Amino acid sequence: MKYKVPRGTRDILGSDMLVWNRVNDAIAKITALNNYQKIETPIFEQTDLFKRGVGENTDIVEKEMYTFEDKSQRSLTLRPEGTASVVRAFVENKLYGGRLPIKLFYNGPMFRYEKAQKGRYRQFYQFGIEALGSGDPGLDAEVISVGWQLLMDVGIDSEEVKVHINSVGCKECREKYKEKLIEYYQDKTESLCSNCKTRLDKNPLRLLDCKNESCGAMANKAPSIFDVICTSCDEHFSSVKRYLEVFNVPYVLDKRLVRGLDYYTHTAFEYRNQKATSTQDAFGGGGRYNGLVEELGGPQTPAIGLAMGVDRIVLALLEKQLPQEHLNFFVVSMGEEEVQRYATEVMQMIRQHGYSCDKDYGGRSFKAQMRLADKCNAEKAVIIGDEEMKNKTLTLKNLKEGKQEILLEKQLKQQLERGSLSV
Ligand code: HAM
């Protein structure tokens, strides 16, 4: 019997994990700099939360949820995204009664039953931020800047990404816009793809981001929301753009940008990977959702957030350059248990000074241990044999430059304490 990972899932290890760690470090840094606090919510929630929160007519709810009954016949769903859960937590824990806006972030697995392919998985990872309790357009720009900054910090080039922004208006202007779109498409239904045909009544905005070529051509000529947008939404959007200049985030206006989730109002945005083909080109996206807190049982609360696809960021980085393992020291030790115990003592002493260090546990020959040190990309080798053990000495070798020196163990300790090594 051979076991395999389920379709659309994968093990993350080796160089993937090294890049993953780099992204997670950048996430920790950027959330601290911008004052976002971490929140953990359950991996599964009541199914109704997502139906209500994400929207009954979305692809996610219609086709992609991992829904199951537990042993007490409760319908539960593995979270397909993080926003609905954060809003549920905001309402349930009455966070609206505290200092606002509250700025939260999460970083973890999400689940969607999608057609699995490169960059699209059934278990994937999102880093997301949600800022609840402020309608300030400066906050929209801050949120957009966090996603941009993350991409820049991890090493994506600025030419590789385009930040698309749009406004989807408030409830009122969106209703007017939907009518306009239905009117525009009325005599064109014959030429629409089957997906768009069914969407026209339920969710006409989604026709704008159809990837089908002829639907795309029609969408390009479709009326824009800016034909019907109300003054307050228009002013909000103009202000967001001015703040984006302050945050130094380059952007393109994209009147065809509508997002696949139903809760959005006002600002919508996506970070598109210029090198990616097809539909897996979004590094991330988000927008305002000023009606969602109320929809899920809380008081009227403006809010905005984003989610970045960590898998896609890692993929783009892996295509650039494979990262290398790295160790400060490798202890090469030849001899019986007594020698190994001395080698272990030296290794622990090195680690206690804050340097990474490892040794051989496989009974390898001297040569094989040196090769292993090289494979681990160790900077320095500490060589220990019977003689060294007896005299409490060691040979310190700089593996990059080839220089070496015999030291007393306590001399190495002093050098580590000073933070400067003789070779
Ligand atoms: P979303 O656009 O559905 O938004 O997902 C955000 C990002 O997650 C995508 O741009 C993509 O990078 C990644 N992603 C989505 N599905 C997959 C998949 N199957 N495989 C790999 N990566 C994927 C949201 O989820 C919203 N909750 C964002 C948000 C937060 N809006 C407001 N606050």
> What pLDDT is recorded for position 276?
85
> How far is ligand 1, taken at its centre, from the CA of residue 284, in Å?
6
| Rounded Cα distance, 279 and 222, in Å | 21
Cβ burial of 212 (10 Å; 0-12, 13-18, 19+) is: middle
Q: Specify binding-site residues for L-histidine.
A: 81-83, 112, 126, 130, 259, 263-264
What average pLDDT score do residues 231-256 get? 97
Q: Where in 265-377 does DSSP place strands (E)?
A: 265-273, 282-288, 303-309, 327-333, 357-359
What average pLDDT score do residues 310-317 get? 96
What average pLDDT score do residues 255-272 get? 95
| Rounded Cα distance, 306 and 87, in Å | 13
What average pLDDT score do residues 240-261 get? 96
- Give the residue from 250, 304, 247 showing the smallest Cα distance to 272: 250
> What pLDDT is recorded for position 211?
84
List residues bridging with 383 in a β-sheet: 332, 395
What residues have CB less than 8 Å from 11, skipping those under 6 apart?
Answer: 5
Q: Which amino acid is at 227?
A: D
> What pLDDT is recorded for position 322?
76
CA angle at residue 105 from 100 to 106, to 5 degrees? Answer: 145
> What pLDDT is recorded for position 106?
98
Q: Note whether 82 and 110 are within 8 A (CB).
A: yes
| Residue pLDDT, tens place only, 390-412 | 999 999 999 999 999 999 999 99
Q: What is the pTM of this model?
A: 0.94
C-alpha 364 chain-centroid distance: 40
Q: Which amino acid is at 264?
A: Y
Out of 126, 264, 304, mutate this one to test ligand 1's pocket (max ligand atoms within 8 Å of CB): namely 126
| Rounded Cα distance, 335 and 340, in Å | 7
| Residue pLDDT, tens place only, 106-157 | 999 999 999 999 999 999 999 999 999 999 999 999 999 999 999 999 999 9
The DSSP letter of residue 203 is -
CA contacts within 13 A on the Cβ side of 378: 27
What average pLDDT score do residues 276-300 get? 93
Residue with CA at minimum distance from ligand 1 atom 25: 81
Residue with tokens 């020196």: 405
**Which ranges of 186-282 does DSSP label H, i.e. alpha helix?**
194-202, 213-221, 231-246
> How far is ligand 1, taken at its centre, from the CA of residue 18, in Å?
23
Q: Is the pLDDT of residue 341 over 80?
A: yes
> What pLDDT is recorded for position 1?
79
> What pLDDT is recorded for position 56?
92
| Rounded Cα distance, 363 and 352, in Å | 25
C-beta of 83 in contact with ligand 1 (< 6 A) = yes
Residue with CA at minimum distance from ligand 1 atom 23: 309
C-beta of 128 in contact with ligand 1 (< 6 A) = yes
Calculate the average pLDDT of the chain.
96
Q: Is the pLDDT of residue 195 over 90?
A: no
